[in-house]
Amino acid sequence: MKPVLALVGRPNVGKSTLFNRLTRSRDALVADFAGLTRDRHYGQGRLGRRDFIVIDTGGFEPDASSGIYKEMAKQTRQAVAEADVVIFVVDARAGLSAQDHDIAIYLRRIGKPCLLVANKAEGMREGAQLSEFYELGMGEVQAVSAAHGQGVRSMLESALETLHLSDDDEKEIENPDVIRLAVAGRPNAGKSTLINCWLGEERLVAFDMPGTTRDAIRVPFERNGQKFELIDTAGLRRKGKVFEAIEKFSVVKTLQAIESANVVLLLIDAEQGVTDQDAHIAGFVLDSGRAVVLAVNKWDALDEYHRELVQRSIETRLAFLKFAHLHFISARKRQGLGPLWASIVQAHKAANCKMSTPLLTRILLESVQFQTPKKSGMFRPKLRYAHQGGMNPPVIVIHGNSLEHVSDAYKRFLEGRFRKAFDLVGTPLRIELKTSHNPYAERESV
Residue 408 in this model has a pLDDT that exceeds 70: yes
At a CB cut-off of 8 Å and minimum separation 6, what does 414 contact?
Answer: 364, 367, 398, 431
> Given pLDDT bands bounded at 50, 70 and 90, which one contains residue 392?
confident
Least confident range from 14-28, 29-43, 371-385, 397-411: namely 29-43
What confidence tier does 95 reach under pLDDT thresholds 50, 70, 90?
Answer: confident
**Counting Cβ atoms within 10 Å, is residue 280 exposed (0-12), middle (13-18) or buried (19+)?**
middle
Q: For the ranges 46-50, 121-125, 145-149, which has the lowest average pLDDT?
A: 121-125
Q: Is the pLDDT of residue 355 over 50?
A: yes
pLDDT confidence tier of residue 4, bands split at 50, 70 and 90: confident
Q: CB–CB of 159/5 below 8 Å?
A: yes
Q: Which pTM does this prediction carry?
A: 0.63
Distance CA 92, CA 102 (A): 17
Q: Is the pLDDT of residue 443 over 70?
A: no
Task: Pick 443 or 47 by higher pLDDT.
Answer: 47
More confident residue, 416 or 171: 416
Q: How far is CA 162 from CA 87, 166, 209, in A?
A: 11, 11, 40
- pLDDT band of 217, cuts 50, 70, 90: low
Q: Which residue has the higher pLDDT, 364 or 75?
A: 364
For residue 241, pLDDT beyond 50:
no
Lowest mean pLDDT among 4-18, 221-235, 278-292: 221-235
From the number of C-beta atoms within 10 Å of its C-beta (0-12, 13-18, 19+), residue 206 rates as: buried
Q: How confident is the model at residue 164 (pLDDT cuts 50, 70, 90)?
A: low
Instruction: Find which of 280-289, 408-417, 432-441 is predicted with most confidence, using mean pLDDT.
Output: 408-417
Q: Specify the pLDDT at position 87.
A: 93
Q: Which CATH number fits domain 178-349: 3.40.190.10, 3.40.50.300, 3.90.1150.10, 3.40.50.410?
A: 3.40.50.300
Give the CA-trace dihedral at 401, 405, 407, 412, to 10 degrees: 20
Name the percent of the chain lying above pLDDT 70: 80
Parse the chain into domains and list their residue ranges: 4-167, 178-349, 357-442
The reported pLDDT for the residue numbered 193 is: 83
Superfamily of domain 4-167 in CATH is P-loop containing nucleotide triphosphate hydrolases (3.40.50.300)
Tell me what the mean pLDDT of segment 370-397 comes to. 89
Distance (Å, whole) CA 365 – CA 189: 45
Look at residue 212 in the predicted model and tell me its pLDDT.
Answer: 37
Tell me how far apart the alpha carbons of residues 237 and 213 are, in angstroms, rounded to a whole number: 13
Q: Using CA atoms, how far apart are residues 434 and 297, in angstroms rounded to an integer?
A: 43
Give the count of alpha carbons within 13 A of 196, CB side only: 16
Regarding predicted confidence, which is higher, 163 or 253? 163
- Contact yes or no for 82/6 (Cβ under 8 A): yes
Look up residue 433 and give its DSSP letter: E
Domain 357-442: give its CATH code: 3.30.300.20
Same fold, 4-167 and 178-349: yes
Per the prediction, the chain carries an average pLDDT of 80
Confidence band of 207 (pLDDT split at 50, 70, 90): very low
**Poorest-pLDDT segment among 47-56, 196-205, 254-263, 365-374:** 196-205
Q: Is residue 86's pLDDT more than 60? A: yes
Q: What is the mean pLDDT of residues 30-53?
A: 65
Q: Residue 383: what pLDDT?
A: 92
